[in-house]
Amino acid sequence: MRSLQCANSEGGSTLSDESVKRRFSTKIIVYVAVMAALGTAVSILTINTVQLGATQISLDLSHLGTFMVAIPGGAILGAITGAIVGIYPGIAFGYIWGSLGIVGLIGLPAGKAMAGFTSGFVQRTLKRPFLSVVLGYVPECLFTIWLFLFIVPVMTPIPAEFVLIIALGIVGKAWIEILFMAFLMETIFLSRGIVRLLKTIFTSWDYTPLTEM
């Protein structure tokens, strides 16, 4: 009888552990979905309201959702969120506002996934949101330049003489956006309340805001 009770006790513990894991997994999925939706909504709003002269260049703050996931959630979740928030910009610059076509539809989500992955990876090492955002964008920046220099002239109707100008305009605009989002993320993650809330979702997140150091 005693051994049976022990077995039941152990089994209950195991079931309890599994239910806790499922609960946290559900929380993570919901959080990623909400941030991806936020990033997409912000992307729709900014792309459709702030045009910067050329049809291929428009304000895009979709990475707000990416970095809100990558910083507490890590590289993989950051990449997934980046790919999701990149879908609307890919459609917009591929077919609605621009002429990138399939290059935009595939290239933008891929680039944003790179930023999400790198940002999450850097955060695990340096543990500072500002640096995570700035360094996280570097691979996407290089990928964007490569895309415009070698793929866009071949696969789109954009004249070759304008490709470099457009690429520099996009990258220059993007760095302004990234610096703004880097300051914003550093400010958001100064909040003890936000950090404590996110630690109930991402229980392995090893981060201490500057306000507690």
Per-residue pLDDT tens over the stretch 104-150: 999 999 999 999 999 999 999 999 999 999 999 999 999 999 999 99
pLDDT, greater one: 164 or 2: 164
d(CA 181, CA 119): 12
Residue 20 sits at the vertex; the CA angle it makes with 193 and 77, to the nearest 5 degrees, is: 65
Task: Assign 90 to helix, strand or coil.
Answer: helix
What's the rounded Cα separation, in Å, for the pair 156 and 159?
A: 8
Single pTM value for the model: 0.86
All domains of the chain in start order, with CATH: 19-206 (1.10.1760.20)
* 132 in Cβ contact with 70 (< 8 Å): yes
Q: Whose structure tokens read 């400010």?
A: 187
Other C-beta atoms lying within 10 Å of the C-beta of residue 78: 32
Paired residues of 51 in beta bridges: 58
Chain centroid to Cα 13, Å, comes to 36
Calculate the alpha carbon distances from 24 to 14, 19, 116, 123 in Å: 15, 9, 21, 21
Q: Which of 106, 138, 104, 102 is nearest to 119 (CA)?
A: 138
Say what the pLDDT of residue 20 is. Answer: 45
- Residue 7 is predicted with a pLDDT of 43
Q: Which residues contact 27 (CB under 8 A, 6 or more apart)?
A: 200, 201
Structure tokens at 87: 């879908």
Q: Which tens digit of pLDDT belongs to each residue from 169-202? A: 899 999 999 999 999 999 999 999 999 999 999 9
At 58, give phi and psi (nearest 5°).
-155, 150
